[in-house]
A and B are shown apart, each in its own frame.
Chain A
Amino acid sequence: MSEIFETPYFGVALSVIAFWIGVKLNRKLKTPVCNPLIIAIVLVSAVLLIFRIPYESYDQGGEIINMFLAPATACLAVAVYTKLQILKEYALPIFVGCAAGSAASMGSVYLLCRLFGLDESLTVSLIPKSVTTPIAVSIAEPAGGMVPVTVVAVIFTGILGGIFAPLLIRIFRVSDPVAAGLAIGASSHAVGTSKAIELGEVEGAMSGLAIGICGIITVLFSMIVL
């Protein structure tokens, strides 16, 4: 019976169905809490646990999906390239903001991990959590982090940004849309950016730029400290 799961088709099909349900639910409920990726992860995990399907069987398909991560990351370049004009116009504020934000993110995570007495592996898994998932994973993995912890922390951070961005803009009195967009992108990558796009065109463009630039800056910083 269990051999019907011993094919890559099973993992790919299950993932696609779960993601499709996630996207549908997200469209219907229209809240960042119902993130399609989170819904899909919960659904797939539930199916595997309930039907006692070994993770290794699912991962035969999972590995094929994983193969697309590097090409997807590379294509972030296209997202930056289409905003080249606005990047040139605000070059200095963008680079200063992204560098300061990346340093603040990594520094605050490190200090808090020390404060809570978390071990090395968890700390490394969390340090890149404010950048987009593919880059965060490629920082955490070689440094000895736990990839799934990184993935979940990154998504959770993104959802936080998506929900609280308008509130944070008010609390910190950010009137400049350039500053608001960069702050959203630097703190909560792509999930936050979808909120930034709703706030305005400049906010959306800046937030999208911050994803790629903070990603590269965080890689550079992590080469120094990890």
Chain B
Amino acid sequence: MKIIKQIGIVFSVCWLSVLVEKILPFAFPASVIGMILLFVCLVSGALKIEHIQEKADFLLENMAFFFIPAGVSIINYFDVLKSTWLQLIVICVISTVVTFAVTAWSVRLTVKLLAGRREKGGKPENE
């Protein structure tokens, strides 16, 4: 019964998020609405982590499995990929490196600025 209840909670949140998606005046993916909804429920205390722990672990640990059908449908797109696969690989490689570098640098810069401000706040006569 415990697992059934957890499945019920998670699926209810998903159903609710489809409802919210329909009401919203702009397009926003229901799955992400579900994520935000669940997060709000947890932070506000409406849901306790124990209420969904096992079901969440099951879904998160096996996340990759649920993408097999989406990936397999690539066999319907062989014609498109035959002429572009090399470009796609190059794009993935370059943009992954760029994303890594930009994220690392902007985090480093933010941490440095925060530390600098804290120092400035502590001893204002230095700057």
Q: Does A225 contact B (CB under 8 A)?
A: no
Are A70 and B99 within 8 A (Cβ)? no
Are B100 and A66 within 8 A (Cβ)? no
Q: Could you tell me the dominant secondary structure of chain B's interface residues? A: helix
Looking at B14, B29, B99, the one whose CB has the most chain A CB atoms below 10 A away is: B99
Are A72 and B104 within 8 A (Cβ)? no
Q: Does A93 contact B (CB under 8 A)?
A: yes
Q: Does B19 contact A (CB under 8 A)?
A: no
Q: How large is the interface on B (under 10, 10 to 19, 20 to 34, 35 or more residues)?
A: 35 or more
Are B108 and A216 within 8 A (Cβ)? no
Are A172 and B100 within 8 A (Cβ)? yes
On A, residues with C-beta under 8 Å from B are 11, 15-16, 18-19, 35-38, 40-41, 44-45, 48-49, 55, 58-59, 61-63, 65-66, 68-82, 84, 92-94, 96-98, 100-101, 103-105, 108-109, 112-113, 116, 118, 122, 126, 129-130, 132-135, 137-139, 142, 146-149, 151-153, 155-157, 160-161, 164-165, 168, 172, 174, 176, 178-180, 182-184, 186-188, 190, 210, 212, 215-216, 219, 223
Q: A74-B31, A116-B87 are in contact. List 8 more A-B contacts (CB 8 A).
A: A36-B64, A40-B65, A45-B74, A74-B38, A98-B103, A156-B89, A164-B96, A188-B100
Per CB-CB distance, the 9 closest pairs between chain A and chain B, nearest first, are: A62-B69, A138-B29, A101-B103, A74-B34, A104-B102, A73-B31, A100-B106, A41-B71, A97-B107
